[in-house]
Amino acid sequence: METLLISDPTDFSIAAHILQEGGLVAIPTETVYGLAGNGLNATAVSNIFIAKGRPSDNPLILHISNLEMLNPLVKAIPPTAKLLMQAFWPGPLTLIFEATDTVPSIVRAGLPSVAIRFPSHPIIQSIISLSGVPLAAPSANTSGKPSPTNACRVQEDLNGKIDAIIDGGSCEFGLESTVVDLTGDVPVILRPGAITYAMLTDVVAKVIIDPALTHHDTSLTPKAPGMKYTHYAPDAELIIVKGPLDRVIPEINHRLQEAKSKGLRTGVLGTDETLDSLHCDIKISLGSEMNLHQIAANLFEKLRIFDDLGVDIVYTLSFKEEGIGKAIMNRLEKSAGYHIIDVCE
Ligand code: TXA
Ligand code: MG
């Protein structure tokens, strides 16, 4: 299949037509690129799973472009949902509701609930409106790889497997949306993102964080099926070193030296402030440690660059789990397969 690359807004109607016919189009959002198909068409949705190589027990998010689109998809809109929608939609927040039968079972991976997001990016909003249906859209990467934050990375993974890719430049946030489950008495964060715990509790009094997110104990199964898989992994072995910088830097340098002596091509994922004091073959900065939003926006793209350069082993610093730092560390730890060295221990 030839994959069409669309960048001119006058061609957006072509993308909408492809979606109406059951085809697949990768579309930029404010978080990451999504691989979209008609969310009410089970065959289109099945093709999304095939193109990504995604396990069928991992449900998809339905994307809407106005609030009227929500009603047919969900059984009820609880009062907490109304508050969160008012505060954060459109934007990087996904809410989980009890689903109606209108939502095909394959979208929900057989669950009674459905995840809904109203994205703020004008391109996906425009494509949803033109196609007139909710779009099922997981991140537009091959399952397991870091999510794509620009059209080139989508091409790398999905060229020849999908009908079209819309190039809308780089994504603003760079990490996937915060996922909040509203099907119980208290909202539960199933996946941290740019809408942080503090932002959520400013709007609704009580919010719980899924315990499986904070304890890396494998006996706890996360409530978002997608959170249990190894994810975002570069081909290189990635290792996080945690602790005070004056101990982390010599520890990383020592380990890099050891890796070099074994003939490995070494890399470091650092910050503007630390890169000069680290010594390896390929050094990449995520940005200034004073700006966690910049670090979040760069994370997935920088991880992919190590693979472009054939690096075997990468050491990375860790970040404070405050604000968006929680989402950064969640993704980084999964990328590293929880290979973490704590120099305080
Ligand atoms: O920012 C985003 O959310 C991006 C853009 C494209 O919108 N999409 C995205 O989709 O990250 P995906 O499929 O890569 O991640 C969806 C997450 C998965 O962890 C999945 O298990 C969870 O949401 N999820 C979806 N439906 C669910 C449900 N009914 N119950 C619990 N978790 C659900
Ligand atoms: Mg994903």
CA of 226 to the centre of ligand 1 (A): 7
C-beta 62 within 6 A of ligand 1: no
pLDDT tens readout for residues 285-303:
999 999 999 999 999 999 9
Of all protein residues, the one whose alpha carbon is nearest to atom 5 of ligand 1 is 34
- Does 163 contact ligand 1 (Cβ within 6 A)? no
Atom index in ligand 1 nearest the CA of residue 173 equals 1
Q: Which pLDDT value is given to residue 218?
A: 64
Cβ–Cβ under 8 Å, residues 146 and 269: no
Mutate to test the pocket of ligand 1, among 49, 60, 108 (most ligand atoms within 8 A of CB): 60
- The ligand that comes nearest to the alpha carbon of residue 32 is 1
Say if residues 341 and 241 touch (Cβ distance below 8 Å): yes
Whose CA is closest to 23, among 166, 168, 138, 162? Answer: 162
Q: Which ligand is nearest to the CA of 157?
A: 2
Q: Cβ neighbours of residue 64 under 8 Å, at least 6 residues apart? A: 70, 73, 116, 117, 118, 128, 134
Condensed to tens digits (0 to 9), the pLDDT of residues 115-136 reads 999 999 999 999 999 999 999 9
Distance 115 CA to ligand 1 centre (A): 7
What local confidence, expressed as pLDDT, does residue 214 receive? Answer: 78
Residues of the chain where predicted confidence (pLDDT) is lower than 50: none
Pocket-testing residue among 27, 139, 157, 231, ligand 1, by greatest number of atoms within 8 A of Cβ: 139
Residue-level pLDDT at 198: 98
Model pLDDT, residue 49: 98
190 lines ligand 1 (CB under 6 A): yes
Find out whether the beta carbon of 99 lies less than 6 Å from any atom of ligand 1: no
Closest residue to atom 19 of ligand 1, CA basis: 226
For position 223, what pLDDT does the model report?
83
Task: Confirm or reject: Cβ of 114 under 6 Å from ligand 1.
Answer: yes
Query: What is the model's pTM?
Result: 0.96
Cα 81 to ligand 1 centre (Å): 17
* Ligand 1: nearest atom to the Cα of 193: 1
Is residue 274 a contact partner of residue 319, using CB atoms and an 8 Å limit?
Answer: no
Q: What distance separates the 2 farthest-apart alpha carbons in the chain?
A: 61
pLDDT of residue 213: 85
CA distance 116 to 118: 7
Ligand number, closest to the Cα atom of 146: 2
What phi and psi values does residue 48 have, to the nearest 5 degrees?
A: -65, -45
Atom 15 of ligand 1, nearest CA residue: 138
Ligand nearest, relative to CA of residue 231: 2
Residue identifier of the C-alpha nearest atom 6 of ligand 1? 34
